[in-house]
């Protein structure tokens, strides 16, 4: 019997073929990113979501040697920008940086959305979060000292104590609704077109109180222009250490955070998702970036895609219940 001598070249050829096949199956493994990346922010420039997108986008650009462009596509509670990302190719070159509104609120307020947040996105990570804080205006500050004082006022004057919000369906609006549901009270919702005008009228005592993001109002609290009653986090805020949580004040189930997160179109290749996640987390822990965020009153999160996906599912169900119970409608 004649045997064929072993040839090392055949083994090398086989390894080359196997490697080529692996790369063909996952072409993103070695080349990505090889062109500019676009981050869609579904809100106007200048807000917290825009700030987070630009800070992390700049850092990612430095990490990967690629241009990262931030585009603001505002409108319809953030759903216009979110829909654009949902329709984009799942190649990692179009990302969404968003607050909770388009991902867990808008579907319950806006009929006929062109996307379904439970199935049309690949969730990458929650970048940062901040609790809300219940604040009262300067004229109420001398006589409203704690949550029980607020509840007593609401019960004494139902539907008349005004709560300013940055708009129907916003985090501060839903937090107020949840507070009313938990305490058996009801205030008067006064929606504004953004947090800035709501805060301006609060400072001017045109409205009574508000649940605002800690990062947006803590300078006014520090200066004594607004009085903080309680925060909605599961622990005290690092920038407001003397302000109790809602749980400490006796109101359970009021753990509420506003958050900014990264997502991409569904079916994002696993290797690109991993590279995006790792790059974003690295950016979050860059000392310059983390200081910028913590100085704003934001908490660094950087959780895994799996944890974020489950968190989105729970938030989606939670706010659906609050919206349904409160009879909240869209703008």
Q: Are residues 262 and 125 in the same domain?
A: yes
Closest CA to 171 of 137, 136, 131, 112: 131
CA distance 179 to 167: 17
Q: Is 5 inside a domain boundary?
A: no
- The SS3 call for residue 230 is strand
How does the average pLDDT of the chain come out, rounded? 91
Q: Is 145 inside a domain boundary?
A: yes
How many structural domains is the chain composed of? 2
Instruction: Work out the pLDDT band at 85, boundaries 50, 70, 90.
Output: very high
* CATH number, residue 309: 3.40.190.150
Closest CA to 163 of 139, 190, 143: 190
Q: Is 301 inside a domain boundary?
A: yes
- pLDDT, tens digit, 9 for 90 and up, residues 283-331: 999 999 999 999 888 999 999 999 999 999 999 999 999 999 998 876 5
Q: Are residues 102 and 69 in the same domain?
A: yes
Model confidence at 23: pLDDT above 70 = no
* CATH number, residue 219: 3.40.190.10
Q: Are residues 224 and 135 in the same domain?
A: yes
Specify the pairing of strand 68-72 against strand 37-41: parallel
Instruction: Work out the pLDDT band at 204, boundaries 50, 70, 90.
Output: very high
pLDDT at position 196 is 86
Q: Are residues 110 and 140 in the same domain?
A: no
* 300 conformational bin, left if phi > 0, alpha if psi -120 to 50, beta if neither: beta
pLDDT at position 330 is 67
Q: For the chain, percent helix, then strand, then coil, each to nearest 5?
A: 45, 20, 35
Q: Are residues 125 and 267 in the same domain?
A: yes
Domain interval for residue 178: 131-231
Q: If you count them, how many residues does the chain have?
A: 331
Q: Are residues 77 and 111 in the same domain?
A: yes
Question: What's the chain's Rg over C-alpha atoms?
Answer: 24
Q: Are residues 208 and 290 in the same domain?
A: no
Instruction: Work out the pLDDT band at 171, boundaries 50, 70, 90.
Output: confident
């Amino acid at each position: 019997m004649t045997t064929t001598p072993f040839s090392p070249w055949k083994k090398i050829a086989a390894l080359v073929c196997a490697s080529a096949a692996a790369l063909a199956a996952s072409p993103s493994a070695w080349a990505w990113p090889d062109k500019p990346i676009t981050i869609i922010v579904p809100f106007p420039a200048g807000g917290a979501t825009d700030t987070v997108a630009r800070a992390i986008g700049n850092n990612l650009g430095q990490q990967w040697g690629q241009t990262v462009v931030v585009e603001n596509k505002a409108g319809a509670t953030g759903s216009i920008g979110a829909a654009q990302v949902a329709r984009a190719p799942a190649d990692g070159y179009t990302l969404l940086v968003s607050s909770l509104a388009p991902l867990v609120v808008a579907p319950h307020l806006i009929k006929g959305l062109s996307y379904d947040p439970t199935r049309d996105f690949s969730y990458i990570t929650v970048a940062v979060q901040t609790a809300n804080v219940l604040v009262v205006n300067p004229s109420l500050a001398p006589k409203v000292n704690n949550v029980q004082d607020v509840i007593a006022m609401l019960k004494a004057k139902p539907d008349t104590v005004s709560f300013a919000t940055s708009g129907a369906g916003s985090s501060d609006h839903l937090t107020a609704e949840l507070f009313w549901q938990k305490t058996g009270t009801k205030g008067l919702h006064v929606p504004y077109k953004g947090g800035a005008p709501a805060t301006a009228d609060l400072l001017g005592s045109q409205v009574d109180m508000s649940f605002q993001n800690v990062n947006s109002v803590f300078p006014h609290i520090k200066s004594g222009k607004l009085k903080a009653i309680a925060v909605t986090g599961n622990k005290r805020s690092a920038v407001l250490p003397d302000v109790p949580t809602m749980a400490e004040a006796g109101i359970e189930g009021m753990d509420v955070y506003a958050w900014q997160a990264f997502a991409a179109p569904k079916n994002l290749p696993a290797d690109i998702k991993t590279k995006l996640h790792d790059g974003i987390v690295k950016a979050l822990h860059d000392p310059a970036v983390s200081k910028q965020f913590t100085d704003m009153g934001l908490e660094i999160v950087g959780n895994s895609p799996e944890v974020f996906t489950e968190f989105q599912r729970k938030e989606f169900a939670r706010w659906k219940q609050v919206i349904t119970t409160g009879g909240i409608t869209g703008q």
